[in-house]
Chain A
């Protein structure tokens, strides 16, 4: 392992002094008693010193080595809490615990004060965060660029089983981790018009005039790698209005107009759009995306010039790699071209070669409604010069298509960056593919479907561009930090090299049959479940038995993720107990958590349904505690860190072909939960790694879903064939879960039975229920269960984000 960047290790005594210093001189508290918040701020500021030293050392090392730099552009970074993560990665957990104890404080209480940095919606944002951890831990010069939303993903309250959104004012008390850099602010023009003119040499010269100006002010969030290898940074931009606000005060009318302008400018980075894989289509979102791209590229060029001088740019792609996290930053294609051609006066073809060589694009979804498109009239108004550039890119691209497939106008229409409908649309995925040298999906199945279903024409044209990079998660946050008990057991058994080389977990395989190890493993799981049970009591006022099977589905609420299928099974079990007098092989706790996009009616109804079913089941004495159901509010990274280590069963039950990868599946498996899932996304690769006998697979395959869709899926046929389906659907229709509001759940029958259910819930119910029976039978034998769980942990190494990043670095970014 590379040497520590910090030469002198911090002691508890010096850290205590540092804490006192910050409390007095930065927080202004000269009294003896510090509040938890003050202790958190002081501790974070003290630890931040280490991070800042690390950042400087890392920067210096990369500059000295002439390291190629990777810039990861994303509209979302779901970072969670930073204090604990920093302590683990710097190896200062015990030191800080002691230092706080010297001041009469408890580290865990202080850690609990920190709000999550929820600058993301779900998987895509959390992937970006895991990637940053791996980039730093592997010592790459890899940096994140994003937006500093004042309001992150909304906080979720549950009132009478209904989701209520509250603003996430995560910076209400400021953040000790953010280092503002006003001296590196940049000026970004938006709106305006193009005036067609001619330059001094008589060439066509389109001028961008009458623009408004935004100022982007960066703040840096240090990203420590594990073991003090590197400290990279995440640069987040905040939008401010231009300085001429002060100068526009001419008369009262102008003053008010100037205030409106200022407010409107600063709205750009005000709030994260809360729709996960659904488009808003809103102008503000387009502005946000451009703002991110424009600020990032300004910064990238500034750094490039500082390191390599003002000369020509032909080496740019050998020094800079940029990765687009989904199409949200796809404007990078046009903005890079604009900079090369308009500002650097490069010839188009040279500029285009550099652009393609620099950019890589990651696709995260096959769902057509999630593919970004922006109307041309909107583009024309907001980014007139970029639209011109996109038209030119498209013109040349379609020439290439025509030369490859002469006379094939259908191909032209399918592949064009501009969709010819009313109004015309800019297809951002096409722009991203055309402008990048690499296009990757995030799991093998997904990447295959990208080439066969999503953009087959592009694959035929450029097969060499397409590749797969299966997602991963950081074992630091998701095992070492979230599950110290299990992490400790593993390290005691096979050493701690697994932390930076997760494949080393294979060393646990022999222990799957070791009674002593399995007992410790089970004890740790039980302890985690006890802690979670306490949390469930405190948030939900529901008592759960830690001996029960903790059946967990924690993710965004979506039809394609099929929380509804889980509910159908729950109801089926409930009916078998109360109507058939069945005794379950093992008691079960159904745990749900996740947010619904505020505008997604069905998702919100699913939450309501779960809560109503929970009320009925939990309150029915006939159940005799065999089933309990809880929906935990406000799912976020810090809650995931408590739920995941306590899970026994991991629900990964999306309709096959819809979940690009999933990453919750990896985290749960890494923490010793067994998976029940469809052959979708990364579930398939998890099965390949852990072994088919150690996972519970059920349901339609992607090919079967396609066939059923083509032949016409009739849910009513399934209803008529299956007693279980009938029973469950009739129970819902009977109103037993909504005695006070008769038609509350009429939509369920309509969605799943009357209409052609695009997600095939009923088609998979029997198969799912049978798989659940196998789960229950195994769980009733703790020895069998523990063996499978240990093997899951032992074989999960592939799903470390370290592996993922190494692949990106080798295949796409060309980092050393």
Chain B
């Protein structure tokens, strides 16, 4: 699984370069993010611009990142595809992290420097 990552205003911005986040690649995703959180990253913005499909494992993976950053951290999403957004709304997982149209909104939501 491929990623792009960069630091912006104190936030780790991660862009999974996969069309799908699902049971076949979510372990890799979790391992990748666990390492990043271990390294001290607490404010994380996921750029889901490439992702067209997400299943319950994929969703669970993103939620697990939110849990791992703890009270002082947060996770925001941006660039979310229409179909993926429907799933977030349907499962009420859209209410536990900010979902913004673009990177600037996500950074602002995370209280970036």
A binds B: yes
Contacting pair A342 B56 (CB below 8 A): no
Contacting pair B98 A342 (CB below 8 A): no
B41 contacts chain A at the CB level, 8 A cutoff: no
Contacting pair B92 A342 (CB below 8 A): yes
A187 contacts chain B at the CB level, 8 A cutoff: yes
Contacting pair B24 A207 (CB below 8 A): no
Contact of B56 among A197, A199, A211, A343 (CB under 8 A): A211
Contacting pair B23 A248 (CB below 8 A): yes
How many residues of B are in contact with the other chain, CB < 8 A? 22
| A interface footprint on B6-44 (CB within 8 Å = 1, 0 otherwise) | 000000000000001011100000000000000000000
A244-B90 contact in complex given A200-B95, A209-B59, C-beta closer than 8 Å: no
Contacting pair B55 A242 (CB below 8 A): yes
A248-B24 contact in complex given A189-B56, A211-B56, A243-B53, C-beta closer than 8 Å: yes
Contacting pair B60 A210 (CB below 8 A): yes
B1 contacts chain A at the CB level, 8 A cutoff: no
A250-B96 contact in complex given A189-B56, A210-B56, C-beta closer than 8 Å: no
A205 contacts chain B at the CB level, 8 A cutoff: yes
Roughly how many angstroms separate A678 CA and B60 CA in the complex, as a whole number?
61
Contacting pair B20 A244 (CB below 8 A): yes
Contact of A342 among B22, B24, B63, B90 (CB under 8 A): B90
Nearest CB in chain A to that of B98: its residue: A200
- By a CB distance below 8 angstroms, the chain B residues around A247 are 20, 22, 24
| B interface footprint on A231-268 (CB within 8 Å = 1, 0 otherwise) | 00000000000111001101000000000000000000
- By a CB distance below 8 angstroms, the chain A residues around B108 are none
A187-B96 contact in complex given A209-B60, A244-B55, A247-B24, C-beta closer than 8 Å: no
- By a CB distance below 8 angstroms, the chain A residues around B87 are 187, 189
- By a CB distance below 8 angstroms, the chain A residues around B56 are 189, 192, 209-213
Contacting pair A200 B96 (CB below 8 A): yes
Roughly how many angstroms separate A342 CA and B53 CA in the complex, as a whole number?
21
- By a CB distance below 8 angstroms, the chain B residues around A192 are 56
B104 contacts chain A at the CB level, 8 A cutoff: no
- By a CB distance below 8 angstroms, the chain B residues around A200 are 95-98
Nearest CB in chain B to that of A208: its residue: B91
- By a CB distance below 8 angstroms, the chain B residues around A243 are 53
Roughly how many angstroms separate A195 CA and B55 CA in the complex, as a whole number?
16
Docked complex: A674-707 residues within 8 A CB-CB of B: none
Contacting pair B53 A199 (CB below 8 A): no
- By a CB distance below 8 angstroms, the chain B residues around A209 are 56, 59-60, 63, 91, 93
| B interface footprint on A699-717 (CB within 8 Å = 1, 0 otherwise) | 0000000000000000000
Q: How far is the CB of A399 from chain B (nearest CB, A)?
A: 24
- By a CB distance below 8 angstroms, the chain B residues around A244 are 20, 22-24, 53, 55
Nearest CB in chain A to that of B52: its residue: A243
Roughly how many angstroms separate A242 CA and B52 CA in the complex, as a whole number?
13
| B interface footprint on A205-236 (CB within 8 Å = 1, 0 otherwise) | 11111111100000000000000000000000
Roughly how many angstroms separate A361 CA and B95 CA in the complex, as a whole number?
33
B68 contacts chain A at the CB level, 8 A cutoff: no
Which of A206, A207, A211, A342 gathers most chain B CB within 10 Å? A207
Contacting pair A199 B90 (CB below 8 A): no
Docked complex: A780-806 residues within 8 A CB-CB of B: none
Roughly how many angstroms separate A12 CA and B96 CA in the complex, as a whole number?
65
Roughly how many angstroms separate A200 CA and B89 CA in the complex, as a whole number?
14
Contacting pair B95 A205 (CB below 8 A): yes
A342-B89 contact in complex given A210-B60, A211-B56, A243-B53, C-beta closer than 8 Å: yes
Contact of B92 among A207, A212, A213 (CB under 8 A): A207
Contacting pair A197 B90 (CB below 8 A): no
Nearest CB in chain B to that of A243: its residue: B53
Roughly how many angstroms separate A212 CA and B95 CA in the complex, as a whole number?
21
Contacting pair B92 A208 (CB below 8 A): yes
A205-B55 contact in complex given A187-B86, A211-B91, A342-B90, C-beta closer than 8 Å: no
Docked complex: B79-110 residues within 8 A CB-CB of A: 83, 86-87, 89-93, 95-98
- By a CB distance below 8 angstroms, the chain A residues around B90 are 189, 208, 342-343
Contacting pair A197 B24 (CB below 8 A): no
Roughly how many angstroms separate A617 CA and B2 CA in the complex, as a whole number?
81
Nearest CB in chain A to that of B95: its residue: A199
Roughly how many angstroms separate A127 CA and B15 CA in the complex, as a whole number?
54
Roughly how many angstroms separate A206 CA and B95 CA in the complex, as a whole number?
10
Nearest CB in chain A to that of B22: its residue: A244
- By a CB distance below 8 angstroms, the chain A residues around B91 are 189, 207-209, 211, 342
Contacting pair A207 B55 (CB below 8 A): no
Q: How far is the CB of B112 from chain A (nearest CB, A)?
A: 17
Q: How far is the CB of A259 from chain B (nearest CB, A)?
A: 15
Roughly how many angstroms separate A189 CA and B58 CA in the complex, as a whole number?
14
Nearest CB in chain A to that of B23: its residue: A248
Q: How far is the CB of A494 from chain B (nearest CB, A)?
A: 56
Contact of B96 among A205, A213, A242 (CB under 8 A): A205
- By a CB distance below 8 angstroms, the chain B residues around A210 are 56, 60
Roughly how many angstroms separate A189 CA and B57 CA in the complex, as a whole number?
13
Docked complex: A165-217 residues within 8 A CB-CB of B: 187, 189, 192, 197-200, 205-213
Roughly how many angstroms separate A248 CA and B55 CA in the complex, as a whole number?
11
Nearest CB in chain A to that of B85: its residue: A343
Which of B55, B86, B90, B92 gathers most chain A CB within 10 Å? B92
Q: How far is the CB of B27 from chain A (nearest CB, A)?
A: 11
Q: How far is the CB of B40 from chain A (nearest CB, A)?
A: 23
Contacting pair B83 A199 (CB below 8 A): no
Roughly how many angstroms separate A211 CA and B90 CA in the complex, as a whole number?
11
Roughly how many angstroms separate A210 CA and B60 CA in the complex, as a whole number?
7
- By a CB distance below 8 angstroms, the chain A residues around B24 are 244, 247-248, 250
Q: How far is the CB of B36 from chain A (nearest CB, A)?
A: 22
Roughly how many angstroms separate A198 CA and B66 CA in the complex, as a whole number?
12
Roughly how many angstroms separate A571 CA and B59 CA in the complex, as a whole number?
68
Q: How far is the CB of B93 from chain A (nearest CB, A)?
A: 5
- By a CB distance below 8 angstroms, the chain B residues around A198 are 96
Roughly how many angstroms separate A419 CA and B24 CA in the complex, as a whole number?
42
- By a CB distance below 8 angstroms, the chain B residues around A205 are 92, 95-96
Q: How far is the CB of B8 from chain A (nearest CB, A)?
A: 21
Contacting pair A197 B96 (CB below 8 A): yes
- By a CB distance below 8 angstroms, the chain A residues around B92 are 205-208, 342
Q: How far is the CB of A655 from chain B (nearest CB, A)?
A: 47
Q: How far is the CB of B82 from chain A (nearest CB, A)?
A: 12
Roughly how many angstroms separate A207 CA and B95 CA in the complex, as a whole number?
9
Q: How far is the CB of A33 from chain B (nearest CB, A)?
A: 49
Roughly how many angstroms separate A192 CA and B55 CA in the complex, as a whole number?
12
- By a CB distance below 8 angstroms, the chain A residues around B98 are 200
Roughly how many angstroms separate A243 CA and B53 CA in the complex, as a whole number?
9
Roughly how many angstroms separate A113 CA and B13 CA in the complex, as a whole number?
64
Roughly how many angstroms separate A199 CA and B83 CA in the complex, as a whole number?
22
Contacting pair A213 B55 (CB below 8 A): yes
Roughly how many angstroms separate A200 CA and B98 CA in the complex, as a whole number?
8
Q: How far is the CB of B43 from chain A (nearest CB, A)?
A: 14
Roughly how many angstroms separate A206 CA and B90 CA in the complex, as a whole number?
11
- By a CB distance below 8 angstroms, the chain B residues around A213 are 55-56
Contacting pair B22 A207 (CB below 8 A): no
Nearest CB in chain A to that of B74: its residue: A200
Nearest CB in chain A to that of B60: its residue: A209
Roughly how many angstroms separate A207 CA and B62 CA in the complex, as a whole number?
13
Q: How far is the CB of B83 from chain A (nearest CB, A)?
A: 7
Roughly how many angstroms separate A187 CA and B95 CA in the complex, as a whole number?
20
List 20 A-B residue pairs with CB atoms under 8 Å apart, sorted by A's residue number.
Answer: A187-B87, A189-B56, A189-B87, A198-B96, A207-B91, A207-B92, A208-B90, A208-B91, A209-B93, A211-B56, A212-B56, A213-B56, A243-B53, A244-B20, A244-B22, A244-B24, A244-B53, A248-B22, A342-B90, A343-B89
16 extra A-B contacts, CB within 8 A, seeds A187-B87, A247-B22: A187-B83, A197-B96, A199-B96, A205-B92, A207-B92, A207-B96, A208-B92, A209-B56, A209-B59, A209-B60, A211-B56, A213-B55, A244-B20, A244-B24, A250-B24, A342-B91
Chain A positions within 8 Å of B, measured between CB atoms, are 187, 189, 192, 197-200, 205-213, 242-244, 247-248, 250, 342-343
Closest A-B pairs by Cβ, 5 of them: A199-B95, A343-B89, A208-B91, A210-B56, A211-B56
